[in-house]
Structure 1
Amino acid sequence: MPPGITTLAADTPTLSAANTGFMLICSALVMLMTPALAFFYGGMVRVKSTLNMLMMSFISLGIVTVLWVLYGFSLAFGTDAGSVIGWSQDFVGLSGIGVTELWDGYTIPVYVFAVFQLMFAVLTPALISGALADRVKFTSWALFITLWVTVVYFPVAHWVWGAGGWLFELGVIDFAGGTAVHINAGAAALGVILVIGKRVGFKKDPMRPHSLPLVMLGAGLLWFGWFGFNAGSWLGNDDGVGAVMFVNTQVATGAAMLAWLAYEKIRHGAFTTLGAASGAVAGLVAITPAGGAVSPLGAIAVGAIAGVLCAMAVGLKYTFGYDDSLDVVGVHLVGGIVGSLLVGLFATGGVQSDAKGLFYGGGLDQLGKQAAGVFAVLAYSLVVSALLAFLVDKILGMRVDEDAEVSGIDQVEHAETAYDFSGAGGGTASRTAAPAPGPAAPTNKKVDA
């Protein structure tokens, strides 16, 4: 997705109402993914952390939107400077962009491209939050997001998608964000949790999801929104590539869900709803970089491999002792790595580009490029994110105190609770009326909070 502006003229593309409308719809679908992620994560935590988990995603919609308009779009997609960052004064505040100006080589306005990419920028830091459940101050999280998108996301987006960005020029294939979004967020999550440490009671207390229906709702909405995330990244569908990406998104997600469930049944003896939701997300992550380069059969392979490897990876936190609360490392980092590297094996050379993978006669060339992109983004995000977390910890303190964590971060940070159990028996009249004669009705035991 190279940067630049072209004006409406006889020798340039003209605005397409169809592509513009399509991209606005895709932008709205990607925006929906952030609240969907909030539901997904919110159901996976204990009752006492539900609202905080929701807010850690929602606050990104505010912070990143403002930063993107002020300078983020310019840093990510402005004129290249040294292959590492962009800058265009016209993009600052989106003040120098006219409504008739088109994104370079495409038939959509610059404003449409800018808002589509904004939604990616909003979602990426929200992904990190799942690793930090139960224990991070909300003000500290807000400051971390501000610093992280400025120092990590905006530059990495330029590396991968900006014309002149060094990974773009190297020929790394990342259709919709395997490196820039998922590896970036997963590596950042690992860096931060290594700094802030484990939750109180990690590996000792039960920390089960409080609402699996909420998890499934979030996963379903993520799946729905991901069609905009992936198919929209071709910025139109005049040549059918976006349609291939749409199909591959569905195919890989289904294959990953089945593979995760099969692994789970063999390994643990049951098909779980959490496994189905996590497997679907793993497939969505893995196909994100690869879906424009592989065939539907290749998408099945990408999804199935990611489903198994991500299912295996979520247990690594118990082996190595890092507290990745909601498996951001296991799903997003590992899934992003798997999908990005498998481009080097399964790229057909007949969809988004002529680059071929090893299994289609392309040798190891594309695999080497993919590996360079994977490990460059992983290393940069891991190290810089850890340093930013350390800085924020020194300024504000990253963690709530132990008593607040045990009693519930929702009350401490937001002065609210997700569920009002006080009215569960009915209205005021039913609570004050004399009890009817007869045996006492059974009561439900309180669930683990």
Structure 2
Amino acid sequence: MAPAITLAAESLSAANTGFMLICSALVMLMTPGLAFFYGGMVRVKSTLNMLMMSFISLGIVTILWVLYGFSMAFGTDSGSIIGWSSDYVGLSGIGLTQLWDGYTIPIYVFAVFQLMFAIITPALISGALADRVKFSAWALFVALWATVVYFPVAHWVWGAGGWAFELGVIDFAGGTAVHINAGAAALGVILVIGKRVGFKKDPMRPHSLPLVMLGAGLLWFGWFGFNAGSWLGNDDGVGALMFINTQVATAAAVLAWLAYEKIRHGAFTTLGAASGAVAGLVAITPSGGAVSPLGAIAVGAIAGVLCAMAVGLKYKLGYDDSLDVVGVHLVGGVVGSLLIGFFATGGGQSDVAGLFYGGGLDQFWKQCAGVFAVLAYSLVASAVLAFLIDKTIGMRVSEDDEVAGIDQAEHAETAYDFSGGGGGSAFSAAPSAPAQEAKAKKVDA
């Protein structure tokens, strides 16, 4: 998305434009995929709330992006911190065939592709907050977080003039701007709102592992658009490199996670396979345009093991990250971003080489600057936003509502109808067979 090599754009390319529209649709599909992934990992009583926490991001962030988000992220730079362009406000000053600077695709196509990244990033945070957050408070948090955190950070990393972009931090498709950003935000919020009722005492197992696997599959599928599309075209093979590295790293991470799980816990679990896939996808996101396929195997395998180890930290350190957003997205994003400093070949998206390819540690230190600046800013800003919301309208549902089930309390629905009456409080269960027989006898009499 912010490559070191730029193309000399002379005219609109129908091929690249069509490709990028398809990639945008693939990235959009990732948010419902994430909803299924998270929805299967929670208990039955929280399923719908988990789905809704992702879906509401599709609504809120889309509107904010059109009104001012695109302008803040990709408008004219101001102080290397934020962008702004009046032509981008409301997307009202953009011509139909006006090209994104240096590329062969229209600005509208670039804007909608980037919109899908802006949508899924706050949705990622939601997995850490499962079971206990008011839906209205979550919606407000999404709006504020996108404005205060995501839009500025996207400008730092990908916007022309952004400080990380100008420093030379490599983030092909979102290791810092998306995954570290979301993972650090998740940690900041859960430190403010506290643990679920029964954390470390009650069993909180996934209620539907098939739903988890479906969500992971949709994420893996959509991630090809997320990653390969971030080169914004198909003219030089870099997008193809990113495509194959996405598959390779994810496969390696699945195998590494399962191997660690077997050694550590004695079993190969479906949840481990799904989580390993996501860990590999996260780690290759920043690095896939800079490393070779062999490097992608290393990135995926390292991320698979380290993320598997990291998910257990919440029990040792006492923070309640419900669905392992910190362990997978924050840790995976950090690992993938920093490994660029070691495995970058100099023959992919740019001529920057890492330590193992003769480039020394210069790029590694640049990666450190980007990683830890985004981590610190998102952690602090997100905690402050959560604190302010908690002290005004309140972030958490009541303890009674949490124990009874947040789906019924916040949405007046349940994910599964076991009564046979069609679902919801507006429907009553069908009468039992003995009751029907008794009624028939009464009528006959």
Report the TM range for the smaller structure's normalisation.
Answer: over 0.9
| Displacement of 1:43 | 0.2
1:56 alignment partner, one of 46, 53, 56: 53
Shift of the 400–367 alpha-carbon distance from structure 1 to 2, 3 Å rule, reads: same
| Displacement of 1:343 | 0.3
2:330 is aligned with 1:333: yes
User: Partner of 1:214 in structure 2?
Assistant: 211
Aligned counterparts of 2:79 and 2:339: Cα–Cα separation in 1: 29
2:316 alignment partner, one of 312, 315, 319: 319
Letter in 1 for 2:267: A
2:124 alignment partner, one of 124, 127, 132: 127
1:253 alignment partner, one of 232, 250, 253: 250
Aligned counterparts of 1:315 and 1:258: Cα–Cα separation in 2: 19
Aligned counterparts of 2:434 and 2:241: Cα–Cα separation in 1: 66
User: Partner of 1:176 in structure 2?
Assistant: 173
Q: Tell me, what secondary structure is at the counterpart of 1:60?
A: helix
Letter in 2 for 1:34: T
| Displacement of 1:251 | 0.1
The answer (yes or no) to whether the contact 2:420–2:429 under 8 Å persists in 1 is: no
2:305 is aligned with 1:308: yes
Aligned counterparts of 1:109 and 1:264: Cα–Cα separation in 2: 46
2:265 is aligned with 1:271: no
Per-residue Cα deviation, 1:417-439 (whole angstroms, up to 9, x for no partner): 000000199xx99964459xxxx
Q: Tell me, what secondary structure is at the counterpart of 2:122?
A: helix
| Displacement of 1:394 | 1.2
2:350 is aligned with 1:353: yes
The answer (yes or no) to whether the contact 1:233–1:242 under 8 Å persists in 2 is: yes
Shift of the 174–429 alpha-carbon distance from structure 1 to 2, 3 Å rule, reads: closer
Per-residue Cα deviation, 1:64-102 (whole angstroms, up to 9, x for no partner): 000000000000000000000000000000000010100
| Displacement of 1:34 | 0.3
Query: Gaps spanning 5+ residues in structure 2: where?
Result: 423-427, 436-445
User: Partner of 2:441 in structure 1?
Assistant: none
User: Partner of 2:83 in structure 1?
Assistant: 86
Aligned counterparts of 1:13 and 1:300: Cα–Cα separation in 2: 37
Aligned counterparts of 2:234 and 2:352: Cα–Cα separation in 1: 20
User: Partner of 1:363 in structure 2?
Assistant: 360
The answer (yes or no) to whether the contact 1:2–1:104 under 8 Å persists in 2 is: no
User: Partner of 1:447 in structure 2?
Assistant: none
Instruction: Give runs of aligned pairs for residues 23-422 of structure 1, distance below 5 A.
Output: 23-422=20-419
Letter in 2 for 1:244: L
Aligned counterparts of 1:327 and 1:29: Cα–Cα separation in 2: 24
The answer (yes or no) to whether the contact 2:96–2:106 under 8 Å persists in 1 is: yes
Letter in 1 for 2:171: D
Aligned counterparts of 1:350 and 1:227: Cα–Cα separation in 2: 21
Aligned counterparts of 1:136 and 1:430: Cα–Cα separation in 2: 34
| Displacement of 1:153 | 0.2
Per-residue Cα deviation, 1:361-395 (whole angstroms, up to 9, x for no partner): 00000000001000000000000000000011111
The answer (yes or no) to whether the contact 1:175–1:233 under 8 Å persists in 2 is: yes
Aligned pair count?
A: 428
The answer (yes or no) to whether the contact 2:182–2:330 under 8 Å persists in 1 is: yes
| Displacement of 1:112 | 0.2
Aligned counterparts of 1:167 and 1:381: Cα–Cα separation in 2: 15
Aligned counterparts of 2:74 and 2:342: Cα–Cα separation in 1: 29
Letter in 2 for 1:155: P
Percent pairwise identity:
87
Q: Tell me, what secondary structure is at the counterpart of 2:99?
A: strand
The runs of at least 4 consecutive aligned structure 1 residues that moved more than 6 Å come to none
Shift of the 262–12 alpha-carbon distance from structure 1 to 2, 3 Å rule, reads: closer
The answer (yes or no) to whether the contact 1:191–1:386 under 8 Å persists in 2 is: yes
The answer (yes or no) to whether the contact 1:81–1:87 under 8 Å persists in 2 is: yes
Shift of the 100–429 alpha-carbon distance from structure 1 to 2, 3 Å rule, reads: closer
The answer (yes or no) to whether the contact 1:191–1:385 under 8 Å persists in 2 is: yes
Per-residue Cα deviation, 1:265-304 (whole angstroms, up to 9, x for no partner): 0000000000000000000000000000000000000000
Aligned counterparts of 1:121 and 1:382: Cα–Cα separation in 2: 18
Aligned counterparts of 2:296 and 2:421: Cα–Cα separation in 1: 47
Letter in 2 for 1:47: V
Aligned counterparts of 1:222 and 1:103: Cα–Cα separation in 2: 27
Aligned counterparts of 1:53 and 1:430: Cα–Cα separation in 2: 29
Letter in 1 for 2:278: V
Aligned counterparts of 1:193 and 1:155: Cα–Cα separation in 2: 22
Q: Tell me, what secondary structure is at the counterpart of 2:415?
A: coil
Letter in 2 for 1:390: F
Aligned counterparts of 2:350 and 2:429: Cα–Cα separation in 1: 69
Query: Gaps spanning 5+ residues in structure 1: where?
Result: 4-10, 436-449
